[in-house]
Structure 1
Amino acid sequence: MGATAGPVWGRREQQDFRSRVRGTLLGVAVGDALGAPVDGATADGTREARGAGGVAGLAPAYGRRGAVTHHTQLTLFSVDGLIRAQVRRDTGAWHPPTDLHRAYLRWATTQRDWGPDERRKDDGWLAREEWLYARRGPARALLVGLGDEIMGTPAAPKNPGEAGPEAAARSAPFGLLVGWEPQLVAQLAVECAAQTHGHPVACLAAGAYAVVVHALARGESLDAAVQQALALLAVWPGHQPVSDALQHALGAVRQGMPTPERVTELIGAGSAEGVVAAAVYCALVGEDVRHGLCLAVDHDGPSAAAGALTGGLLGALHGETALPPAWLAELEGRPTILELADDFAMEMTQGPALHGPAGSSPAWLARYPRGG
């Protein structure tokens, strides 16, 4: 797996990219936190608890307002794995799915241990963030898929019957590889999805979602981004359920005022292609970011995943300043998310100066070790 030459980074381009990276990661987290309190509840039940307007803002989950779930946790470890892959490339080792798998195994450790183990020197800084050592409703497929050190692949996937949205919901960071060709972004997302969710629908939905984020991060409109994903999907065997779901989402945009019922219909049984399609729909029809996110979580289905997926799209499209400041102020882990986002942006724009032939930054290599 290779990458194309990256873009030319002037100051303005760097600032725009940094804003989109921050927006994507914060968007995933804020959508996740918005959906967490109502995850799996019926829309009627949500309105009984929240009033006729349904979800209108953050509410308590896991003992606090603004709490995130495993979707955000794994998205952060996706970023960590991508940075580590770039750093390890200097050694001649270049297989990003392996680096992502190692990152996901570090996440799995946070689900078993009480806190960081300072003896694991190759873990890097993210795995030493104590707030990440919390179980936030991880799907069984995640714990089983990452329960040993064997890496699932498209040819030999873990959990081949699992078609849930969890793999797609951690895939926004792949779309931030703006120097890569879209087909390589899709391939990486598919390969990494197979590590926990081996059903073709789950893998291809993750690939399609990453391609949409990729186009947005490069300045495309959301409609154009979805069209790019559809064109790319067409060459993959087994793509039809995912392509049909995305086409259904585009068609639903023209069917009048958005409603929770329409979102519920798009989500269907809650498998990956339906949840990704619902996220696309909510991002397209939302009057603003706040409305799009509330629509994404106010339905019968996996609200946290739908919120995370929608937030990733809106953040990549608009950048961090479009996200509701009051929600960000209460968001769990926000300092970590911002720090990681800025590290990713720095790695992608200035990586050779941090670790390359001209010399390496010891501080950077301590944060993102080449081992592990």
Structure 2
Amino acid sequence: MGAAAAAVWGRAEQQDFRARVRGCLLGAAIGDALGAGVSGLSVEAIRAAHGPDGLADLAPAYGRRGAVTSATQLSLFTVDGLIRAQVRRDTGAWHPPTDVHRAHLRWAATQRDWGPDERRKDNGWLACEEWLYARRDPARATLTGLGDETLGTVDRPKNPTARDAGALVRSAPFGLLVGWEPQLVCQLAVECAVQTHGHPTAYLSAGAFAVVVHGLARGESVDGSVQRALAQLATRPGHEPVSEALKHALGAVRQGIPSPARIASLGDTDGEHAEDALAIAVYCTLVGEDVRHGLRLAVNHDGPSETTGALTGALLGALHGETALPPAWLAELEGRPTVLELADDFAMEMTQGPALHGPAASAPGWLARYPRG
């Protein structure tokens, strides 16, 4: 959101925006944590462990209930990069993919270092959060793509055969740029996805997901947001598998009561293909009676439960806002204070940025949190 957009927004609109930002980021983290407890299990194994109705509550993962995976870690650093892109815009250096890439490189450091390097003045506050220094099963392509400082591009992407959901799961924050046009949101998500995942179905799934989040964050319906994503995909080479997956998700809504078998019909649920995870998330968002029901559908199936949980949680949170999230799950969520703090910083930057670092005002504390370097 630019300064002009913020100026015409009233207090109620800004509060609604903040609620949707919180809902999206917290919802994604809750879905991630819920799915982490059954990651890699078949639906039969889930039922054997948790009863005939499957997983109904948070289960331990990584030694605790409510633990998140790399999907949440990466999404937080995506937000950090977007805030810093806005801050750095004052300098005339406006290239958000570079700032997001730098943020993802800071995440990559958390995967190899024992703890934060507080001597690095350009790290900002997020990279100093010690709880993020834990490896939580990131996609191999994500690690290799961020293994050097070279910036991938659409013409020369990193890992051109990687088509898993590793880029998709970190792309919800792009949709929270509600002052941007959908085509720009899609393009930014694509340009940031190719930094690790160069297969068209992987980076176009990320772009489509961002557009769906964007529509929901602006108060549009799920169906309308998906239709807008399909329109954005239509002109892009290699879009057909992603477009077909989204259309399949829309059609499945009319085919009967939701079930693991219905979800399995949406594609390759072993986690190999990003577009299938996207389709499952859209379907669970459409048929979920509430956030809890939608998330339970998203994780009780064969396949990458943490991935589909995170994607579905982001969509449901952007759709309904933070107050619709299950409080008992929120209470146990790992890193909840960090997620909330970052969500509120993002909302403040997007609505009040000129008051924080504009030509007429400067907040040194803000620039220490989000350095321009």
Per mean C-alpha deviation after superposition, the further-off stretch among 172-181 and 4-13 is: 4-13
Q: Which residue of 1 aligns with 2:276?
A: 274
CA RMSD of aligned residues (A): 1.2
The reply on whether 1:6 has 2:13 as its aligned counterpart is no
Q: Which residue of 1 aligns with 2:89?
A: 89
Unaligned runs of 5+ in 2: none
Q: Which residue of 2 aligns with 1:121?
A: 121
Q: Which residue of 2 aligns with 1:41?
A: 41
Unaligned runs of 5+ in 1: none
C-alpha distance in 2 between matches for 1:57 and 1:168: 25
The reply on whether 1:65 has 2:93 as its aligned counterpart is no
1:5 CA displacement: 5.2
Q: Which residue of 2 aligns with 1:23?
A: 23
Which residue of the other structure, out of 336, 340, 343, is the alignment partner of 1:341? 343
Q: Deviations over 1:164-222 (max 9, x none)?
A: 11211110000000000000000000000000111000000000000000000000011
C-alpha distance in 1 between matches for 2:73 and 2:118: 20
Q: Which residue of 1 aligns with 2:358?
A: 356
Kept in 1: contact 2:2–2:351 (CA 8 A): no
The reply on whether 1:131 has 2:154 as its aligned counterpart is no
Amino acid at match of 1:36: A
The reply on whether 1:254 has 2:257 as its aligned counterpart is no
Residue correspondences, number: 370
Amino acid at match of 1:297: V
Equivalent residue runs for 1:1-372 within 5 Å: 6=5, 8-268=8-268, 269-270=270-271, 271-371=273-373
Q: Deviations over 1:60-96 (max 9, x none)?
A: 0000000000000000000000000000000000000
Q: Deviations over 1:271-329 (max 9, x none)?
A: 11010010000000011110100100111111111000000000000000000000000
Kept in 2: contact 1:28–1:72 (CA 8 A): yes
In percent, how many aligned pairs have the same letter?
A: 75
C-alpha distance in 1 between matches for 2:63 and 2:164: 26
C-alpha distance in 2 between matches for 1:6 and 1:303: 37
Amino acid at match of 1:283: T
1:241 CA displacement: 0.5
Kept in 1: contact 2:17–2:217 (CA 8 A): yes
Amino acid at match of 2:260: P
C-alpha distance in 1 between matches for 2:193 and 2:319: 23
C-alpha distance in 2 between matches for 1:29 and 1:201: 24
Amino acid at match of 1:213: V
Kept in 1: contact 2:24–2:322 (CA 8 A): yes
C-alpha distance in 2 between matches for 1:370 and 1:148: 21
| TM-score relative to the length of structure 1 | 0.98
C-alpha distance in 2 between matches for 1:170 and 1:152: 16
1:265 CA displacement: 2.2
C-alpha distance in 1 between matches for 2:125 and 2:200: 34
C-alpha distance in 1 between matches for 2:133 and 2:213: 28
Kept in 2: contact 1:6–1:178 (CA 8 A): no
1:359 CA displacement: 2.0
